Amino acid sequence: MSVIVLIGTQWGDEGKGKITDYLAKRADLVVRYQGGNNAGHTVVVGDEEFKLHLIPSGILYPEKICIIGNGVVVDPAELIQELDSLSDRGVNTGILYISDRAHVVMPYHRLLDSLEERRRGNNKIGTTNRGIGPAYKDKTARTGIRMADLLDPPRFAAVLKENLNEKNEIFDRIYGVKGFEFEEVYEEYRGYGRRLEKLVQDTSVFINESIANEDNVLFEGAQGTLLDIDYGTYPYVTSSHPVAGGACLGSGVGPTKIDKVIGVCKAYTTRVGEGPFPTEDTGKFGEQLREKGREFGTTTGRPRRCGWLDAVVLNHAARINGLDFLAITKLDVMSGLKTIKICTSYLHNSGEIRHFPANIGVLGECEPVYEELPGWQEDITNIKDFNDLPLAAQKYLARISELSGVPVALIGVGTKRDQIIVCKPHGEFY
Ligand code: IMP
């Protein structure tokens, strides 16, 4: 048995869905531990494409148990819609449980998200507008509503009233917009509570029992290290902990129970939303990556900003997450390039920078220092063995490993489920 945490090493959208799907096949339990429906995983099964936002990717395997942990913020309307759309498409889904301690995204969180963004003007974060930040804000302000509250009518009524008193005043006085009626919100959300009641439980107990039973457990991180509220490009981050440490907090499992941490790293870099991005290519090459890599947001459809791989970012992620292994995704997108660049440090007027800086002002002034490697022209989408990859591709992967100090275990060479190279022995998890 093994307990594995899978995280994104960049700004999210690393192709975690594909790797999660590969590992989920071998896991008994798949757990989401942070974020909400701001996330988006695309999994291709046969000729069908599934876009999941809240439900762990393991749901596409009928015998798996999926958990939405306490660290996730749950928009119940979205969750129900996702469940219904899977059953409408005839997917024989696994079992889903939701933590009774998970916070609920309320309609006022969504409205606040868009109003706050508008108010930020040029300093906007570029959020997904799903109410994620305001929901986490209420959680830490100790005014949030949890799944357990949704199932307890008198308590739900009391906390909702308190919240609406405060939020409606904010809508009225600060934003000059209409707020929410108690009855309407209460009825709608009690309906969601009734629908989801059977799925809600103390999932920390369930996961820990599963670990004690020697089940294979996979913690599926959403977003990425550079969007972490502490370790990302603050304030251009999300409001949760996508890093490996977040798996413990967001699921009620102690750090001694985790066996391995795998970091997913795209063969190049992308980000959506605002904030500095040292290796961004705003020219032709960035556009080429966007088209070839289909780099458009799963959740918002926004075009992603694209650029070369950044080893300063990767080293930061390797350290913060204590990475054991790397899964490199979308290597096929790099085929056909004459040369490939990797950023190895930043040049700033204060000198050379090797560790990812906290100050985003400094980050914004950094120039990437690149080293250049030969590219390869061959199509690699059907390759199954590392040794069959073009030598230049092998060298690129070896250099990524060398710069980060983390061995490569899995390599994605296409969108389909089986377009994956398992590097022996590292990639034989579970
Ligand atoms: P929020 O999570 O909606 O508050 O958005 C905060 C920042 O995180 C924005 O830059 C979003 O574009 C980014 N973000 C949130 N979720 C994802 C994701 O799943 N992939 C990539 N970026 C994300």
Crossing angle, helix 391-404 and helix 311-321, to 10 degrees?
50
CA distances from 202 to 137, 152, 207, 287 (A): 23, 15, 9, 46
What atom of ligand 1 comes closest to residue 133's alpha carbon? 4
The Cα 111–Cα 392 span in angstroms is 50
Q: Is any ligand 1 atom within 6 A of the Cβ of residue 135?
A: no
Q: Which domains does the chain have, with CATH numbers?
A: 3-90+203-422 (3.90.170.10), 103-198 (1.10.300.10)
Among 85-99, 256-270, 328-342, 384-398, the range scoring the smallest mean pLDDT is 85-99
Please give the structure tokens belonging to residue 219: 């913690």
Q: Whose CA is nearest to atom 21 of ligand 1?
A: 12
- Contacts of residue 148, defined as CB under 8 A and 6 or more positions apart, other chains included, come to 100, 101, 200
Task: Annotate 263-291 with DSSP letters as a single string.
Answer: EEEESSEEE-SSS--TTB--SHHHHHHHH
- Residues 286-295 pLDDT 10s: 999 999 999 9
- Contacts of residue 258, defined as CB under 8 A and 6 or more positions apart, other chains included, come to 3, 4, 5, 219, 244, 247, 248
Task: Annotate 367-410 with DSSP letters as a single string.
Answer: EEEEEEEE---S--TT--SGGGS-HHHHHHHHHHHHHHT--EEE
Query: What is the whole-number distance in angstroms between the Cα of residue 427 and the centre of ligand 1?
Result: 29
Question: At 401, which amino acid appears?
Answer: S
Query: What is the whole-number distance in angstroms between the Cα of residue 224 and the centre of ligand 1?
Result: 9
pLDDT at 46: 75
Q: What is the pTM of this model?
A: 0.96
Neighbour count for residue 184 (Cβ, 10 Å): 10
Max intra-chain CA distance, the chain: 66
Q: Give strand pairing partners of 341.
A: 372
Secondary structure of 114-136 in HEC code, one letter for each residue: HHHHHHHHHHCCCCCCCCHHHHH
pLDDT band at 225 (very low <50, low <70, confident <90, very high): very high
348 is catalytic: no
Catalytic hit among 21, 28, 41, 53:
41
The Cα 243–Cα 228 span in angstroms is 7
41 is catalytic: yes
Neighbour count for residue 245 (Cβ, 10 Å): 20
Q: Is any ligand 1 atom within 6 A of the Cβ of residue 17?
A: no
Query: What is the whole-number distance in angstroms between the Cα of residue 13 and the centre of ligand 1?
Result: 10
Cα end-to-end distance, the chain, whole Å:
6
Query: What is the whole-number distance in angstroms between the Cα of residue 229 and the centre of ligand 1?
Result: 11
Please give the structure tokens belonging to residue 42: 């695309």
The Cα 137–Cα 131 span in angstroms is 10
Catalytic hit among 13, 75, 138, 332:
13
Question: Per-residue pLDDT averaged across 24-44, rounded?
Answer: 91
Asked whether the beta carbons of 27 and 217 are under 8 A apart, the reply is yes
Neighbour count for residue 152 (Cβ, 10 Å): 13
Query: What is the whole-number distance in angstroms between the Cα of residue 328 and the centre of ligand 1?
Result: 21
- Residues 72-120 pLDDT 10s: 999 999 999 999 988 888 887 889 999 999 999 999 999 999 999 999 9
pLDDT above 80: residue 61: yes
Query: What is the whole-number distance in angstroms between the Cα of residue 232 and the centre of ligand 1?
Result: 11
Please give the structure tokens belonging to residue 367: 């120039």
- Contacts of residue 425, defined as CB under 8 A and 6 or more positions apart, other chains included, come to none
What atom of ligand 1 comes closest to residue 222's alpha carbon? 19
Neighbour count for residue 109 (Cβ, 10 Å): 26
Q: Which residue has the higher pLDDT, 215 or 18?
A: 215
pLDDT at 152: 97
Q: Is any ligand 1 atom within 6 A of the Cβ of residue 411?
A: no
- Residues 360-381 pLDDT 10s: 999 999 999 999 999 999 999 9
Q: Whose CA is nearest to atom 8 of ligand 1?
A: 238
Question: At 272, which amino acid appears?
Answer: V
Q: Is any ligand 1 atom within 6 A of the Cβ of residue 12?
A: yes
Q: Is any ligand 1 atom within 6 A of the Cβ of residue 125?
A: yes
pLDDT above 90: residue 150: yes
Q: Is any ligand 1 atom within 6 A of the Cβ of residue 13?
A: yes
